[in-house]
Amino acid sequence: MRDDVVRVVESYLRAMESGDLNDVPLHPDVEWEGPLGHSIKGATMLRATLSVLASIVTRVTIIRHIVEHEWCATLFELSTTQGAVSIFDSFQVVDGQIRSIRVFLDRYPSPGLASGERLS
């Protein structure tokens, strides 16, 4: 189960990097909650919204996945044309589809996080 959940989450992150969100396995009623408390419901609306963000993404560097049953918390660095930000997303994957995503971001990322440096 762990590998299946990670595979689905990584397909989402690869799609953010490539800008092609069409094949991301989103549940039709997926729920997305952003870092400022705003939310989006539904695969069509989420794909449309994320395509705007994906248009400025230059790279996604996965740092770590923490998986428990259908839940996956993923720490990654999102590099964009505007700079890089560290993000921690909580995903719920049910039957091979992303059911929910909750986004937490660090507005003050640590230098060297993507290179695997340990924090003191």
What is the pTM assigned to this prediction?
A: 0.86
Query: Hey, what are 9's tokens?
Result: 């989450």
- Pairwise CA distance, residues 81 & 92, whole Å: 29
- Pairwise CA distance, residues 93 & 98, whole Å: 4
Torsion of CA 53, 59, 64, 70, to 10 degrees: 40
Three-class secondary structure of residue 56 per DSSP:
coil
User: Which domains, from first to last, does the chain contain?
Assistant: 2-106 (3.10.450.50)
Whether the predicted pLDDT of 37 surpasses 90: no
Whether the predicted pLDDT of 1 surpasses 80: yes
Instruction: Report the percent of the chain where pLDDT is more than 90.
Output: 80
Q: For the segment 57-104, what is each residue's pLDDT rounded down to a tens digit?
A: 999 999 999 999 999 999 999 999 988 999 999 999 999 999 999 999
Mean pLDDT in residue range 9-17: 97
